[in-house]
Amino acid sequence: MIHKIIQVILFLLFLSFAALQYNDPDPYGWIAIYGSIAIAFLLSALGKYRKEIVAGIMLLVLGAALWHLPGFITYLYSPDKEALFGEMTHDRPYVETTREFLGLMIGGVALLYLLRSGR
């Protein structure tokens, strides 16, 4: 029962992540990513868990995270760590890339939970 509650909470969380991407400069890819994670949790909560689908989404999420990894590494070496919580500026493009990378990591960890719980 606790897994079903967690799945519903994570479904709602990633659905809200997808909705928040609407005002992003490149919303469609992010809505698709967060929306597919949300759908994976919804299907699992409804008893329609498919490991292959979850693993496929996870591979896509991890592939996107690898694409954003260089920007995250740049952020790690930057002296201004607080920039992550401020506005994105053109002189620090790694801020947006880092935010996107961390969002993908959150999605990856959530999908890993779903794969490991096997429900």
Question: Mean of the pLDDT values across residues 107-113?
Answer: 97
- In this predicted model, what pLDDT tens digit does every residue of 43-73 receive, in sequence order? 999 999 899 999 999 999 999 999 999 999 9
How far does CA 91 lie from the centroid of its chain? 25
Spatial separation of the C-alpha atoms in residues 64 and 108, rounded to whole Å: 10
Question: Mean of the pLDDT values across residues 17-22?
Answer: 94
Spatial separation of the C-alpha atoms in residues 18 and 29, rounded to whole Å: 10
Question: Mean of the pLDDT values across residues 83-98?
Answer: 82
> Whole-prediction pTM value?
0.89
Q: Is the pLDDT of residue 119 over 70?
A: no
pLDDT > 90 in the chain, percent: 71
Q: Is the pLDDT of residue 105 over 90?
A: yes
Spatial separation of the C-alpha atoms in residues 37 and 88, rounded to whole Å: 26
Tally the C-alpha atoms within 13 A of residue 89's C-alpha that lie toward its C-beta.
Answer: 7
For the chain, which residues make up each domain, given as ranges?
A: 2-117
Burial class, 102, CB count within 10 angstroms (exposed 0-12 / middle 13-18 / buried 19+): middle
Question: Mean of the pLDDT values across residues 31-46?
Answer: 96
